[in-house]
């Protein structure tokens, strides 16, 4: 269906019924409702705000966000906001996930390092875009749950590692693409060191309250930084992040 043919929420019988279908108590219509909610999310939150990378849009239209977050209803998993998860953390708003991934320009043959697995939602999207994903999480409970969900959904190219990701993953470096989903006071030197020549690193840098996305490219051994949009992430806690 083309963008112009979207009906308002209230005139879609499927979406009206969706309000009563919870993620916890799935019914036979859940997959159709989730697919419709994803299609609208891609149209209204991503395309409408300028996300153009068709591979990113297709991955966002495919990965079932409701499997990762425990929301009231299936459709609220696709709202235009971050979602609270265990251990006081959040899953990023869909637009922020898409915009970070668009900036990274991941190729199908890339190996990607993600710091801050959280639920594993973003790692699954990256799993759709890249050959191999290494995702690092410091909270054991989150790492374990993400691992289980990713395995259940069949993401065999995504590995979850439990440790302080502010130090990266030196044993598997260098990485052509690095993505940090938590806010740092400054760009960790370990991550710059582990970036491959010609590679890109996206990371929110700033205070604990507000940050700006930084895109760092390694060109002839030198890190070249450009500044993108303002954002708000939970803190990167670790040796090369915040103390607590």
**Residues labelled as active-site residues:** 92
Q: How far apart are CA 218 and CA 176, in angstroms?
A: 9
Output the DSSP codes for 130-194: SSEEEEEES-HHHHHHHHHHHHHTT-TTEEEEES-GGG--GGG--EEEEEE-SBBSS--HHHHHT
Among 41, 46, 96, 237, the residue binding ligand SAH under the rule CB under 6 A is 237
| Binding test (CB under 6 A) with ligand SAH, winner from 75, 89, 99, 194 | 89
Q: How far is the CB of 9 from ligand SAH (least distance, A)?
A: 25
Q: Per rule CB under 6 A, is residue 70 in the interface with ligand SAH?
A: no
CA dist 197 and 189 (Å) reads 15
Contact 85, 119 (CB under 8 A): yes
Q: Would you count residue 129 as binding ligand SAH (CB under 6 A)? A: no
Which of these segments, 17-25, 48-56, 193-201, 235-243, binds ligand SAH (CB under 6 A)? 235-243
| Region near ligand SAH per CB under 6 A, out of 2-10, 72-80, 134-142, 202-210 | 134-142
Q: Which of residues 181-210 bind ligand SAH (CB under 6 A)?
A: 181-182
- 38, 112, 166, 173 from 216: Cα distances, Å: 30, 15, 16, 16
Q: Does 147 bind ligand SAH (CB under 6 A)?
A: no
Task: List contacts with ligand SAH (CB under 6 A).
Answer: 89-92, 115-116, 118-119, 121-122, 136-139, 142, 164-166, 181-182, 234, 236-238, 241
């Amino acid at each position: 269906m083309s963008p112009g043919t979207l009906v308002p929420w209230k005139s879609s019988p499927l979406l009206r019924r969706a309000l009563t279908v919870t993620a916890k108590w799935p019914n036979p219509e859940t997959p159709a409702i989730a697919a419709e909610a994803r299609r609208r999310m891609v149209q209204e939150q991503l395309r409408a705000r300028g996300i153009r990378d068709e591979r990113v849009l297709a991955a966002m239209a495919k990965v079932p966000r409701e499997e990762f977050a425990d929301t009231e209803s299936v459709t609220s998993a696709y709202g235009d906001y971050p979602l609270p998860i265990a251990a006081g953390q959040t899953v990023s708003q869909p637009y922020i996930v898409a915009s970070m991934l668009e900036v990274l320009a991941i190729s199908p043959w890339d190996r990607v390092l993600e710091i801050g697995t959280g639920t594993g939602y973003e790692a699954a999207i990256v799993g759709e875009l890249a050959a191999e994903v290494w995702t690092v999480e410091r909270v054991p409970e989150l790492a374990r749950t993400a691992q289980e969900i990713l395995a259940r959904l069949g993401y065999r190219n995504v590995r979850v590692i439990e440790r302080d990701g502010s130090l990266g993953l030196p044993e598997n470096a260098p990485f052509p693409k690095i993505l940090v989903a938590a806010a740092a006071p400054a760009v960790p030197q370990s991550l710059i060191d582990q970036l491959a020549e010609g590679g890109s690193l996206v990371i929110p840098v700033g205070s604990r309250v507000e940050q700006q996305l930084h895109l760092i490219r390694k060109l002839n051994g030198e890190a070249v930084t450009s500044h993108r949009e303002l954002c708000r992430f939970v803190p990167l806690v670790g040796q090369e992040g915040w103390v607590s």
